[in-house]
Chains A and B, each alone.
With several copies, the nearest count.
Chain A
């Protein structure tokens, strides 16, 4: 059975919500009452539950199997987190309530902030950014504010070729010119090239560490020292912090700002594309420039430092990034996860994530080309498409994995490797699941090397065959429209 759209099965006068009856008298709407129909079909509750339940079953999800998406970190989402996030004391409070009436909520934010600062070895944290990319922006804006505060208008941000696309996008959005840093043939940023390029026009160097090739940037401390010497700041993309949490503190490596994707390291659910949460930790040098609002603990309780009180305590803040205080619902989940693991468990998280990735690297490097595979990798294993038969591609391997019951790995990223396949198992996969996955990849890769043309048609057993993305983009259909009578009659 195909699942229809709500617009095809619902109707404007059906509702799945009952309201108290009785006349509603009086109107102070002025002359702007809505008169025309809106076109919002309703469904009763049985129909609604069935529609969305059926839709959900067309999705792959972590609850169904391994999600080997390198650089996306799809790990198990503990159900305790969902339970505590729904406590009315967190879920049912208004962001503008008097602070005396939300001391528990402010306390929670403060407690999570304290963990993040200590885990990263940094000086402070801005909690409000709504997602990782928003956090990047926050970090870059703090850097720019710090430079401007000393009257130093630098224009360039250096970004490695292997960086996430958000890095250059963020720097550009903040008004910077972006220049690429080349990689060494080992898959790391080239320290010498950075040293050469550094100068009075460079505001910041953005480094991802561990990087998107799954490698730790060995020269990180040396880079930081060079950057600081040149009067610039080090931004670290913390997307891969999960590989080192509890074992390495970015603060010890000279980082000035780093965002943390709570869903990657601290298990908040991905939700099919968000909501995320991207707190940013800062070094002492950048702390004065961090955004509003933030929570401060004083003798009489927790205070919320907003615009009104900023002059006094935080005169250099670069301002506000969001309407309220950030992703409270994600904070609750992340704290629940962090407390559950503790300092010891988080260290184990990093170790198991890295061990799982290396296990995959070594279990597949005989059939797949591992361009930087001499030494150990961190939390993800990177392969290229060398050896795949002519006419077949990374895409075909990925789609064929769907038929084996798995979500494909990350493809064609990072850009520095041809036909890249980036595999990140995370720490929440068992050895048995890894072995099953490895077996599936081996079998598909062997078919790809043998030139099995059938791979080009994969997936065969998914809810849909390959979808025509070109048609979608060429003539975008973004909303449902009543079919024209002629078409309907066909």
Chain B
């Protein structure tokens, strides 16, 4: 029992100290009916580190990894190169095994890092402030809708058809219980998002407009008009960014008038990890800050006047407000926020812009290679690192066939919208600075073969 420091001698001596003759005496409050006298049946006994490692390595080997071959998946999770120093730092015990910084005198490391993270996120998003992170992009998105409801005291939210369908799905689930009304739609395979239709739906009961940027098909829509239209009706514009690297190349939602910007931060520092843990980003304007969910690190001074940081505005939170809290959330995604922040610090503005430029350039090359294949049609006029193509037939089986060849070709819209026949031929393809010309050639070649 390599993790249990008590020896049998310790146990005996300690039982004596507490006045118990056996350990069972300490479990007397458990009703007889629930007492287990031996170990739970059908479960294995303890195992050596060697055995556990071997077992898990075998499971791991049964997965085709993004590094094993050409890789073009996106749709809310992106593969970028994470410098080795990021993982080195987050493994320091002082970060990895620290608690939530409720005792600021001995948690300045975490607190200062969060303060830096908040500033980075706010600047990237073009918002005045940002919080210390959320679970992930999809939950951050829903929390933004709820927040807009609190701010506007309205319960009707309009979700753009370009919003990630999983995000829509999460919002739908929650709205069922909160009684919010959601207006949703399915995207059309057109070159530009349908901004005008969205604007038409805004009415006096609308709390917010939720728009993904770039959207699920990779399209980049100007949000300025949306912001104006929303504000004209005293509704908020919520922008959702699933690929923060894009903001190294295109305007920030804040610049275009978004009131709340949320996003998924996984692209930087965190890695794919089969979907989690990820890190939700959340920024908004200063005047909305007291309605913001989640933890916040703030600057202050200590008893000697030295600058320091604390968790602040916690009167919004559940441990103080209980049922009146802004959210039931009690955790941020601290270690992922740290990874995000370190990666961003390493990149700096120059590095982020270069990374974005390369990702975009590789996506352009990929698009060119694919549209050279007869029957393959590019949907987007504009895109960042991700675009949609229309195949001559259903995309799902094509993706599976390519996976069998070791090529992870993209995300079929059939996977994301199983009920929508009109989208079945759509394939969303993403590239990054890690994409190579060989990857692109292999993808184009493979696709050609499968379609033939």
Closest-by-CB residue of B relative to A278 is B331
Q: What residues of chain A lie closer than 8 Å to B349, measured between beta carbons?
A: 12-13, 37-42
Q: What's the Cα separation between A60 and B98 when bound, in Å? A: 6
B130 touches A478 (CB 8 A): yes
Given contacts A16-B83, A323-B170, A340-B47, contact A92 B65 (CB under 8 A): yes
Contact B116 A7, beta carbon cutoff 8 Å: yes
B6 touches A97 (CB 8 A): no
Residue from B18, B29, B122 in contact with A216 in the complex, judged by beta carbons closer than 8 Å: B29
> Which of the residues A12, A98, A272, A309 comes within 8 Å of B350, measured between beta carbons?
A12
Query: How far is the CB of A338 from the nearest CB of chain B, in Å?
Result: 9
B393 contacts chain A at the CB level, 8 A cutoff: no
Which residue in B5, B324, B347 is a CB contact (below 8 Å) of A47? Answer: B5
Q: How far is the CA of A98 from the CA of B409 in the complex (A)?
A: 10
Given contacts A118-B43, A166-B318, A321-B173, contact A471 B84 (CB under 8 A): no
Choose, from B71-79, B182-190, B439-447, the stretch at the interface: B71-79
Contact of A175 among B77, B179, B352, B418 (CB under 8 A): B179
A272 touches B98 (CB 8 A): yes
1/0 contact string of B270-281 vs chain A (CB within 8 Å): 011111111100
Please indicate the chain B residues that have their CB under 8 angstroms from the CB of A134 in the complex: 135, 139, 328-329
Q: Which residue of chain B has the shortest Cβ distance to A469 in the bound complex?
A: B310
A291 smallest CB distance to B (angstroms)? 7
A137 interfacial by beta-carbon distance below 8 Å: yes
A56–B277 CA distance with the chains assembled, in angstroms:
21
Whether the Cβ atoms of B52 and A24 lie closer than 8 Å is no
Nearest CB in chain B to that of A72: its residue: B99
> Is A119 interfacial (CB 8 A cutoff)?
yes
Q: Considering the complex, which residues of chain B in the window 129-147 have a beta carbon less than 8 Å from any beta carbon of chain A? A: 129-133, 135-139
Residue A308 lies at the interface, judged by CB distance under 8 Å to chain B? yes
Residues 310-349 of B at the A interface (beta carbon under 8 Å)? 310, 312-315, 317-325, 327-336, 338, 342, 344-349
Residues of A within 8 A of B403 (CB): 97-98, 100-101
Determine if A182 is an interface residue (Cβ-Cβ < 8 Å). Answer: no
Interface contact B354-A15, CB-CB below 8 Å: yes
**B308 within 8 Å of A (CB atoms):** yes
Given contacts A343-B43, A376-B28, A92 and B329 within 8 Å (CB-CB)? no
| Contact for B91 among A82, A344, A376, CB less than 8 A | A82
- For A48, give its contact among B50, B130, B342 (CB under 8 Å): B342
* B-chain residues with CB within 8 Å of residue A476 when the two chains form the complex: 289, 296, 298, 312-313
**In A62-83, which residues have CB < 8 Å from any B CB?**
62-64, 67, 69, 72, 74, 76-80, 82-83
- Contact: A141 with B5, CB < 8 Å? no
Q: Is the CB of A93 within 8 A of B52?
A: no
Contacts of B255 in A (CB 8 A): 36
Partner of A105, one of B274, B324, B382: B274
Q: Once the chains bind, are B63 and A102 in contact (CB under 8 Å)?
A: yes
- Asked if B84 contacts A355 (CB within 8 A), the reply is no
**CB-defined contacts of B17 to chain A, threshold 8 Å:** 359, 362-363
Is B418 a contact partner of A244 (Cβ separation < 8 A)?
no
Q: Are A464 and B308 also in contact (CB < 8 A) when A244-B30, A246-B39, A270-B100 are?
A: yes
A315 interface residue per 8 A CB criterion: no
A320 to B419, CA, bound (A): 16
Contact with A along B364-396 (1 / 0, CB 8 A): 100100000000000011111000000000000
Tell me, in angstroms, the Cα distance from A165 to B313 when the chains sit together. 16
Asked if A359 contacts B14 (CB within 8 A), the reply is yes
Contact A320–B173 (Cβ < 8 Å): yes
- Give the distance in Å from the alpha carbon of A76 to the alpha carbon of B19 in the complex: 27
Among the listed A108, A169, A308, A398, which residue makes an inter-chain contact with B328, where contact means beta carbons less than 8 Å apart? A169
Expressed in whole angstroms, the Cα–Cα distance for A476 and B129 within the complex equals: 10
Residues of A close to B416: CB separation below 8 A: 96
Which listed segment binds A: B53-61, B194-202, B228-236?
B53-61
Chain B residue numbers with a CB within 8 Å of A479 are 115, 118-119, 122-123, 128-130
Q: How many Å from the CB of A322 to the closest CB on chain B?
A: 5
User: Measured between C-beta atoms, what is the minimum distance from B401 to chain A in Å?
Assistant: 9
Question: B250 contacts which of A16, A29, A40, A270 (Cβ < 8 Å)?
Answer: A29
Assuming the contacts A144-B177, A457-B303, asked whether A16 and B348 have C-beta atoms less than 8 A apart, the reply is yes
Q: How far is the CB of A422 from chain B (nearest CB, A)?
A: 13
With contacts A130-B139, A178-B323 taken as known, whether A276 is within 8 angstroms of B26 at the C-beta atoms is no
A381–B321 Cα distance when bound, in Å, is 25
Within the complex, the shortest CB–CB distance from A34 to chain B, in Å, comes to 5
Contacts of A41 in B (CB 8 A): 345, 348-349
Contacts of B357 in A (CB 8 A): 24
Interface string of A194-230 (1 = CB under 8 A from B): 0000000000000000000001101011000000000
With a cutoff of 8 Å between Cβ atoms, the chain A residues found around residue B352 in the complex are 38, 40
* B438 contacts the other chain (CB 8 A): no
Shortest C-beta distance, A240 to chain B (Å), equals 13
Residue from B19, B28, B63, B139 whose CB has the most chain A CB atoms within 10 Å: B63
User: Which residues from chain B contact A342 at a C-beta distance below 8 Å?
Assistant: 43-47
Complex Cα–Cα for A267 and B399 (A):
38
Could you tell me the distance in whole angstroms from the C-beta of B322 to the nearest C-beta in chain A? Answer: 4
Check B33–A45 contact: CB distance below 8 A.
no
**Residue contact B302 to A467, C-beta cutoff 8 Å:** yes
Question: Could you say which of A76, A91, A244 contacts B271, with CB atoms under 8 Å apart?
Answer: A91
B452: interface (CB < 8 Å)? no
Question: Is the pair A44, B5 in contact by a Cβ cutoff of 8 Å?
Answer: yes
Say yes or no: B53 contacts A269, CB within 8 Å.
no
* Cβ-neighbour of A6 out of B90, B116, B358 (below 8 A): B116
Instruction: Give the shortest distance, in Å, between B340 (CB) and chain A (any CB).
Output: 12
Q: A12 CB to closest chain B CB, in angstroms?
A: 4
Residues of B within 8 A of A358 (CB): 14, 18, 20, 26
- Contact (Cβ within 8 A) A16 B2: yes
What is the bound-complex CA distance between A172 and B137, given in angstroms? 23
Of chain B, the residue at the smallest CB distance from A359 is B14
Q: In the complex, are the beta carbons of A17 and B274 less than 8 A apart?
A: no
Cβ distance A207 to chain B, nearest Cβ, rounded Å: 14
Proximity bits, A270-312, B CB within 8 Å = 1, else 0: 1111111100000000000001000000000000001111000
> CB-CB < 8 A to A330: which residues of B?
276-277
Tell me if A89 counts as interface (CB < 8 A to partner B): yes
Which of B107, B133, B317 counts the most A-chain CB atoms under 10 A from its CB? B107
C-alpha spacing A273/B277, complex, angstroms: 13
Given A48-B345, A479-B122; A324-B276 close (CB under 8 Å): yes
Most buried by A among B73, B167, B349: B349
Nearest CB of B to A26, in Å: 5
Given contacts A89-B63, A340-B3, A413-B319, 12 further A-B contacts (CB under 8 A): A17-B347, A28-B367, A42-B345, A61-B93, A94-B73, A141-B173, A318-B173, A328-B275, A355-B14, A355-B23, A478-B297, A479-B130
What are 5 pairs between A and B in contact, CB < 8 Å? A10-B348, A16-B348, A38-B124, A457-B303, A473-B312
- 9 smallest CB-CB distances across A and B, nearest first, come from A42-B348, A89-B60, A324-B275, A63-B93, A319-B173, A308-B418, A104-B62, A271-B335, A95-B275
